[in-house]
Amino acid sequence: MKDIEQIMAMAQNVQAELTKAQESLDTIEVEGQAGGGLVKVRASAKGRIIGLNIDDSLVNVSEKGMLEDLVIAAFNDARAKADAASSVEMGKMASGLPLPPGFKLPF
């Protein structure tokens, strides 16, 4: 019975650590770019978009399609960097946990 109590206590600790790690992801910022830095998107590692910067040289009605494509590319770049930062942070958190062999976390 004591083993079950230890496993339950460990599971609660893991849950608390996961919650803490998830919260910290929103404080990590990454920047995605497109068009050689003419369009930039800032996002948290959790995927929340924080800011958008479009160079003034791109604001031209005849270039609307290109601008839209660059914004999409910058968002996708920021999201990829956010996912990478999230994986690194979650990996750091998981490496410090006393998990039994073969125990997989949900990420």
Tens-digit pLDDT profile for residues 61-105: 888 888 888 888 998 898 889 888 888 887 777 676 666 666 665
What would the two tokens of residue 69 be?
């494509």
**Mean pLDDT to the nearest integer, 32-51:** 88
3-state SS string for 33-66 = EECCCCEEEEEECCCCEEEEEECHHHCCHHHHHH
Tell me if residue 29 falls in helix, strand or coil: strand
Which residues, other chains included, contact 69 with Cβ-Cβ below 8 Å and sequence gap of 6+? none
Sorted by where each starts, the structural domains of the chain and their CATH numbers stand as: 2-95 (3.30.1310.10)
CA angle 42, 47, 53 (to 5 degrees): 20
